[in-house]
A = this chain, B = another copy of it.
Amino acid sequence: MTALSTIPEHVPLPAGFRATGLHCGLKSQGRPDLALILADEPVTAAAIYTQNRLVGAHVHVCRDHLLRSGGLVRAVLVNARNANCATGEKGIADARHCCDELAKRIGCPVEQVLMLSTGPIGAPLPTEKITSHLDALLGRVDDDGGMDFARAIMTTDTYPKAVHHAEYGVQVTGFAKGSGMIHPDMATMLGFLLTDATVDGASSGGVLRAVADRSFHRVTVDGDTSPNDTLLLLASGRAQSDAPATVLTATARELARHIAADGEGATRLITVVVRGAPSEQEAAHVGRVIATSPLVKTAIAGRDPNWGRILSAAGRAGVPFPAQAARVWVGTAEVYTEGVPHPEREDVAHRHLLDERDIEIGVDLAAGNAEAEVWTCDLTKDYVQINADYRS
C-alpha cells in the first residue's frame, strides 16, 4: 500500500493541451460547472463507457463522434449538475447542439468535439446556459487551467482530483470526478488521461481497458454504476515517444484512490488487499465483495477491526478457499490466523483505524499466489444524509 498523493495547487498539462472552467449557471453560489479541454491540433482519443443499460445522452454522442472522426478530438466540453440522462432523443440533440456551437467557434468538424455530462438524472439540459458561455471558455482556456477544469467537473466531490506524472520522457495528467454511485464496470463518473506521448490509435481502446482494469475498475464507493461513467484518453504525440502503460496506470490508480478517499460521507480511504488467490482476477473479485460490504464499511466507520465481517464477506464471493487456513489483518495487526482469532492484537488494529485516514485491511485466502488491491471508503451516517437529501 502506497500513501495517497497530495492534490497539487497547480497541475501542468502535457504539451498540446489547454484547459479551463467557469460558472455558467448550473450550480448554485457561482461555483464552476462548465469545463473545457482544448487540443492545439486534433489528438488521438479513446474512450470507455458505463456498462449500465441506461446510458446518458453524451455516451451516444461520444461514441458517434469518435467513430466518425476516426478517433480524433480537438475539444472536450464537460458540464456538471445535469446528467442529460433519461432525456430521450431531445437530450441527444441537445448534446449535439452544444458540440456544434463549440465546433463552429473553434473551426473544426463537429465530430472532433466531445461533450460529457454529470449530475442528477432526468432534467432537460439547459443548453442556452452552456452555449452562451462558450466564447468565455475559449477566451480563458490556457496551459495553466488544469485545476480550473478539475474544479468545474466536481459534483458532490469535496476536493478536485488531479494527478501528474512525468516519467520516461512523457507527461501524463489525469483528472477525475465522482464520489457517489461509484462501482466497477466504469467505476469513475468521469476520468480524463491526457498525455503528450503517442498512443497507437488502433490499439488505444485496448490500452485504456487494461489501464482501467487495474485502476478505476478497482474502486467502489456504494456499488452503484452511473449511466454516464466515461473514461477518456487523449494523446497529443508531442513527446514523440510511446506512453508506457505503467505511467498511464499509475496516474489512473492515483485518481481512482482519490475517488474512494473522497467517497460521499467518507472519513477513511480503505485499501483492501487480497493475497493467496488462485488468480489476480479472483483476488480482485474477492476484494470488490469485501469493499462493497456495508457491514465491513460500517465497521471501519466505527473503527472496529471486525475480522469476522471481512472473512465473511470474502466467504460469500464464490471463490473457494479454506477458511481455517486463511489470515486477516488490519493495518499491521494479524487479527485472525489459520482458524484462530487474536483478540489481544485488536488494540493495535483499532489504533490503526483510529489514527490513520489511509488504512489497510487484508485477507490471505491460502488458495494460490495471486493478489490484488481494491479501494473503497467507510460507510458513515453522512453518506445516508447526503443521498437522502440529494434532490431536496
**CB pair A302 B388 closer than 8 Å:** yes
Instruction: Give the residue of B88, B294, B295 whose beta carbon is less than 8 angstroms from that of A339.
Output: B88
**CB pair A224 B381 closer than 8 Å:** no
**CB pair A298 B388 closer than 8 Å:** yes
Instruction: Give the residue of B83, B227, B315, B385 whose beta carbon is less than 8 angstroms from that of A54.
Output: B315
Instruction: Give the residue of B223, B312, B320, B380 whose beta carbon is less than 8 angstroms from that of A293.
Output: B223
**Which secondary structure characterizes the binding site on chain A?**
loop
Task: Output the least CB separation between A56 and chain B (Å).
Answer: 10
Q: Determine the distance from Cα of A231 to Cα of B172 in the docked complex, in whole angstroms.
A: 55
Return chain B residues, CB-CB under 8 Å to A385: 381
Q: Determine the distance from Cα of A11 to Cα of B113 in the docked complex, in whole angstroms.
A: 69
**CB pair A302 B85 closer than 8 Å:** no
Return chain B residues, CB-CB under 8 Å to A313: 224
- Please tell me if A70 contacts chain B, counting CB pairs below 8 Å: no
**A and B contact pairs by CB, cutoff 8 A, 29 listed:** A52-B312, A53-B314, A53-B319, A53-B320, A53-B323, A54-B312, A54-B314, A54-B315, A55-B315, A86-B336, A121-B312, A122-B308, A122-B341, A181-B312, A224-B294, A224-B295, A224-B309, A224-B312, A225-B312, A225-B316, A226-B312, A294-B294, A298-B388, A299-B388, A301-B384, A302-B390, A302-B392, A304-B392, A380-B388
Task: List 6 additional contacts besides A224-B309, A299-B390, A301-B384; criterion CB under 8 Å.
Answer: A53-B323, A88-B340, A122-B307, A181-B295, A222-B294, A294-B387
Q: Determine the distance from Cα of A320 to Cα of B52 in the docked complex, in whole angstroms.
A: 10
Q: Determine the distance from Cα of A121 to Cα of B323 in the docked complex, in whole angstroms.
A: 13
**CB pair A324 B88 closer than 8 Å:** yes
Q: Determine the distance from Cα of A306 to Cα of B341 in the docked complex, in whole angstroms.
A: 44
Give the number of copies in the complex.
2
Task: Output the least CB separation between A104 and chain B (Å).
Answer: 29
Task: Output the least CB separation between A66 and chain B (Å).
Answer: 22
Return chain B residues, CB-CB under 8 Å to A339: 86, 88
Q: Determine the distance from Cα of A225 to Cα of B339 in the docked complex, in whole angstroms.
A: 20
A323 with B381: in contact, given A224-B312, A294-B222 (CB under 8 Å)? no
**CB pair B227 A52 closer than 8 Å:** no
Which A residues between 353 and 392 are near B, CB-CB below 8 angstroms? 379-381, 383-385, 387-392
Q: Determine the distance from Cα of A223 to Cα of B379 in the docked complex, in whole angstroms.
A: 14
- Please tell me if A311 contacts chain B, counting CB pairs below 8 Å: yes
Q: Determine the distance from Cα of A381 to Cα of B323 in the docked complex, in whole angstroms.
A: 32
Which A residues between 127 and 174 are near B, CB-CB below 8 angstroms? none
- Please tell me if A279 contacts chain B, counting CB pairs below 8 Å: no
Return chain B residues, CB-CB under 8 Å to A295: 180-181, 222, 224, 387
